[in-house]
């Protein structure tokens, strides 16, 4: 026992400086950033998650290499072999104390973030999710560094080889779908904090942290894989030291090792440009404009366009929005005149929550915020008419919001428009559940019928690797299919076509099918439950170059995913054939110059409306069975 204590004391004194430096980087630097935010009047918070997520693996590799190489160099190794200490005891103390340094350096900052930031969400992943899965990854990477040090016994070469191994651990599961369960990105993406565990009986709460992070049985494969990699590496390291195995490394070995790892990583790194969607018709917008939202069907629709210009002093931008209707004929687009909402140089804010009905193709409803003479912020419904001869009524004020704008959502069906949001009470707080019922039988002059408290648009309740659950809000006289479509499409990254829900993940597109043991729809206590059907993985280069700002829309058996490449500055649309939800596959792609993601609206016959600097009507993608 005294031998173990002496060995641990010796290792601690030699490796503690690594712990101090790591805590200074992972915890000290974010704390300094939080103090700077306090000076600017913001709440104190520490942004630890990105530091630990991106640098934790590198730290694990270097600590493992240092722990192994420190005493395996010439006379030092001979000295330790002459001591009355077993090789296994000496090496295992070294291994576990170095592993403890890595775990403490990475876990303590995450715990501090959870305690300090409370309910604040930090990127790239919540600290609770990182805390649940990343320690297994760090242990595996540390073990790779340790075994590389024991076999090569040269710090620089061992570090290069271990970093090449780290690339394989991160990216090889991305390149090879059969082992995707070994990907830390998959484990993090599919982990979730479910609001109601009763609607996901197949999930379990992670037992090793005090959090509501849940996991499915598939995620245990990742844990088992990382633990197996750690155990195998430790066993190889012990055998190498006991038997005196040593690889005499040189420049060629290093070049071949690192080059092979990089080659494997980029084996399937493909990126599609240009287009294979046939452009049937195109319509020019005004000079400098770009489509930010559109609604339409096979007969026509309405398009919202925005022009951004630099301010008069050369700084900042001015926004000018316009709207126009269009009709689809055999000869192409027939465009109506462009009409501004409130005169020139107007800005409607986010045009995404647009309500539009085919019965009234020249009218649309937007949600906006204004400030009255007393300084109060209030939400309103803006009725937009694309016909100058038929002007719309003035904006209709709904409710005040004292603490700044809050999200509002709307849904139109036949002669009703429903708007849900948050309303301020007398004390300046939020009454979160409030919904307005508007009569739009006269589409240009909407009228408030009622504003009901304690009502809202329900939506996503659970999203796991195998299941998606939506809670539906009952709206009078709205058919179940329309209600479900509005609920699903109201969440970023989700879209629905019939009984198939599509979800954009970092790894690609995942499809889910409605559970239907009874006639459609299957509702369990107000929930619509979808089970995973299939997936289509994106390539590595696509994941590295595309931003996280994806949009998707589905219809006619196809799913259109619009993405913006912040690296290549090229917006593109990828078309997936989802007619067989179990085997979604990319069948089309479309790319044209634009300043942001392209806006897509699929049509029931397989065609699609795509908005950018122009408005395009594209034909169905080519299908090769």
- What pLDDT, in 10s, does the model give residues 1-56? 566 677 777 777 777 888 888 888 888 888 887 777 667 666 777 888 888 888 89
Confidence of residue 194 (pLDDT cuts 50, 70, 90): very low
User: Using one digit for the tens of pLDDT, what is the confidence trace for 466-519?
Assistant: 888 888 888 877 888 888 888 898 787 899 998 999 998 767 889 999 986 554
**CA 310, 616, 336 angle in degrees (round to 5)?**
75
- Pick the more confident residue, 378 or 547: 378
Collect all residues with Cβ–Cβ distance below 8 Å to 58 and sequence separation of at least 6: 163, 166
Whether pLDDT at 160 is above 60:
yes
Structure-derived torsion over alpha carbons of residues 438, 442, 444, 449, reported in degrees to the nearest 10: -20
* Mean pLDDT, rounded, for 178-188: 79
Q: Which pair of tokens denotes residue 557?
A: 């058996």
pTM: 0.67
Model confidence at 220: pLDDT above 50: yes
Q: Using CA atoms, how far apart are residues 290 and 319, in angstroms rounded to an integer?
A: 12
> Where is average pLDDT lowest: 151-155, 163-167, 425-429?
425-429
Is there a contact between 372 and 320 (Cβ–Cβ < 8 Å)? no
**First vs last Cα of the chain: how many Å apart?**
69
Both tokens of residue 66? 């240092």
Asked if the peptide bond before residue 290 counts as cis, ω within 30 degrees of 0, the response is no
Region label for 153, one of left (φ > 0), alpha (ψ between -120 and 50) or beta (otherwise): left
Q: What is the pLDDT of residue 102?
A: 93
Spatial contact of 97 and 12, defined as CB atoms under 8 Å apart: yes
- Residue 1 near residue 89, CB atoms below 8 Å: no
């Amino acid at each position: 026992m005294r031998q173990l204590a002496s060995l641990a004391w010796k290792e601690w004194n030699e490796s503690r400086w690594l712990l101090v430096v790591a805590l200074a980087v992972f915890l000290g630097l974010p704390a300094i950033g939080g103090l700077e935010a306090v000076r600017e009047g913001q709440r104190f918070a520490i942004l630890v998650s990105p530091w630990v997520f991106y640098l934790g693996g590198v730290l694990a590799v270097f600590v493992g290499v240092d722990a192994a190489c420190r005493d395996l160099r010439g006379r030092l190794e001979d000295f330790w072999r002459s001591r009355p200490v077993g090789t296994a005891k000496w090496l295992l103390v070294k291994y576990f104390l170095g592993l403890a340094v890595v775990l403490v350096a990475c876990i303590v900052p995450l715990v501090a973030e959870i305690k300090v930031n409370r309910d604040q969400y930090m990127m790239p992943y919540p600290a609770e999710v990182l805390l649940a899965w990343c320690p297994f990854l760090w242990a595996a990477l540390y073990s790779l560094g340790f075994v590389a040090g024991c076999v090569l016994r040269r710090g620089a070469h061992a570090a290069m080889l271990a970093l090449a191994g780290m690339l394989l651990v991160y990216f090889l599961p991305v390149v090879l779908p059969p082992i995707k369960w070994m990907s830390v990105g998959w484990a993090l993406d599919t982990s979730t904090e479910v609001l109601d565990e009763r609607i996901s009986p197949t999930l379990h709460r992670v037992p090793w942290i005090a959090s509501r992070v849940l996991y499915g049985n598939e995620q245990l494969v990742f844990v088992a894989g990382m633990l197996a990699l750690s155990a195998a590496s430790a066993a190889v390291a012990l055998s190498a030291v006991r038997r005196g195995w040593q690889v005499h490394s040189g420049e060629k070995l290093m070049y071949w090792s690192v080059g092979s790892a990089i080659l494997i990583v980029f084996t399937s790194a493909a990126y599609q440009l240009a287009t294979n969607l046939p452009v049937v018709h195109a319509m020019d917008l005004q000079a400098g404009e770009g489509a930010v939202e559109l609604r339409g069907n096979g007969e026509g629709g309405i398009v919202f366009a925005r022009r951004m210009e630099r301010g008069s002093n050369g700084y900042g931008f001015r926004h000018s929005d316009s709207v126009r209707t269009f009709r689809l004929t055999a000869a192409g687009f027939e465009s109506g005149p462009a009409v501004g909402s409130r005169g020139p140089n107007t800005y409607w804010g986010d045009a995404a929550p647009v309500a539009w009905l085919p019965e009234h193709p020249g009218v649309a409803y937007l949600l906006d915020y204004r400030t009255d003479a007393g300084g109060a912020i209030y939400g309103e419904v803006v009725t937009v008419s694309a016909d100058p001869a038929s002007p719309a009524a003035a904006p209709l004020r709904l409710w005040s919001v004292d603490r700044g704008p809050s999200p509002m959502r709307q849904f139109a069906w036949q002669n009703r428009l429903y708007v849900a949001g948050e309303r301020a009470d007398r004390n300046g707080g939020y009454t979160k559940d409030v919904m307005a019922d508007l009569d739009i039988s006269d589409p240009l002059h909407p009228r408030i019928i009622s504003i009901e408290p304690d009502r809202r648009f329900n939506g996503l309740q659970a999203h796991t690797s195998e299941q998606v659950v939506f809670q539906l809000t009952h709206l009078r006289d709205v058919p179940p299919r329309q209600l479900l479509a509005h609920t699903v499409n109201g969440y970023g990254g989700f879209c629905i076509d019939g009984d198939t829900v599509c979800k954009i993940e970092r790894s690609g597109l995942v499809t889910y099918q409605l559970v239907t043991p009874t006639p459609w729809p299957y509702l369990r206590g107000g929930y619509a439950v979808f089970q995973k059907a299939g997936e289509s993985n994106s390539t590595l280069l696509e994941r590295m170059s595309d931003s996280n700002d994806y949009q998707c829309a589905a219809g006619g058996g196809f799913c259109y995913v619009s993405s913006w490449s912040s690296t290549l500055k090229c917006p593109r649309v990828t078309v997936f054939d989802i007619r067989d939800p179990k085997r979604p596959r990319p069948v089309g792609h479309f790319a044209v110059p634009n300043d942001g993601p392209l806006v897509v609206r699929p049509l029931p016959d397989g065609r699609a409306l795509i908005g950018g600097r122009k408005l395009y009507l594209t034909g169905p993608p080519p299908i090769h069975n």
